[in-house]
Amino acid sequence: MKFFKKTRRLLLNDSKIKKYLTYAVGEIILVVVGILIALQIDGWKEQQEVNQHEYNILQNLYRDLSATKDELERDVKANKISKSNLEIALNHLNKNTEYTSAMDTLFPAIANWESPLPTFATYEIFKIEGIRIIKSKKIKEGIIKFHESTLGFIINDYDKAEWALFENITMPFIAENLSYFLQDETVSLKPNNYTELSKNPKFRNILTLTMAMRGKGLAFYETSINELNELLLLIENEIEENSHHE
């Protein structure tokens, strides 16, 4: 600044107006360029902060969705076992198989299924900030569809249907006709009178209906896991791409 002031003073003293004006314009241009550079740096820093925030949200979404995938896969494994036990129990009834205590470990399947317990923590943040910050339209649409539609259907339709059947039909029937007890650290369900129970059409209907419902639930779970795998791949690729831009 001292140099600029000294130069202006010399030009004015020598009455070199034309050179002074040229110098003044150049000085203005330097100031403007400096301001533009400062604004560009501020804009770059702000964009870096936005990119970092997007990166963090994507990482947290990936973590939560991976946890949800693990949960759904555990549910599938458990519900396949319960469906298989129902099929075996119904097969015994259809063949009039003589009662054995091993059957007691099959009957609990009519009241045992795994409810989905997905992780929604980051999705709540996504609804507030992620929709605005995440650039990929495909990822945003996929996240919303998975949480609101796919998971929503499993939780609000399938799981509630299982609960309705259990509370209104299965549990009252169990309370009248079977008894829970612990056998080798495994919860078992023993018929009060197997001969009468095996001839009871309501019991067969409960087994058949529960088995069918469990099968539909498994189909919904499998679809959701496939959808989740595609979504996780999209997010993983986006995270990798963002990390290269840092």
Mean pLDDT score, 215-231: 94
Take residue 199 and report the two structure tokens written for it: 């001839």
pLDDT tens digits, one per residue of 143-179: 999 999 999 899 889 999 999 999 999 999 999 999 9
What DSSP character marks residue 200?
-
146 vs 120: CA distance, rounded Å: 11
Residue 21 binned pLDDT confidence (cut-offs 50, 70, 90): low
Residue 132 binned pLDDT confidence (cut-offs 50, 70, 90): confident
202 vs 169: CA distance, rounded Å: 10
pLDDT attached to residue 119: 83
Task: Output phi, psi for 20, to 5 deg.
Answer: -65, -45
Residue 133 above 80 pLDDT?
Answer: yes
Take residue 65 and report the two structure tokens written for it: 């969705």
pLDDT attached to residue 134: 86
| Interior angle at CA 185, CA 90 and CA 168, nearest 5 | 45
Q: Which of 23-27, 128-132, 157-161, 217-221 has the lowest mean pLDDT?
A: 23-27
pLDDT attached to residue 89: 94
Query: Tokens 């998975």 identify what position?
Result: 146
pLDDT attached to residue 143: 93
pLDDT attached to residue 120: 85
pLDDT attached to residue 245: 54
pLDDT attached to residue 127: 85
**pTM score of the predicted model:** 0.77
71 vs 58: CA distance, rounded Å: 20
pLDDT tens digits, one per residue of 52-111: 888 888 999 999 999 999 999 999 999 999 999 999 999 999 999 999 988 999 999 999
Residue 50 binned pLDDT confidence (cut-offs 50, 70, 90): low
- Kindly list the distances between the CA atom of residue 64 and the CA atoms of 57, 118, 232, 235, 236, in Å, as whole numbers in the listed order: 10, 8, 10, 12, 13
Mean pLDDT score, 7-27: 56
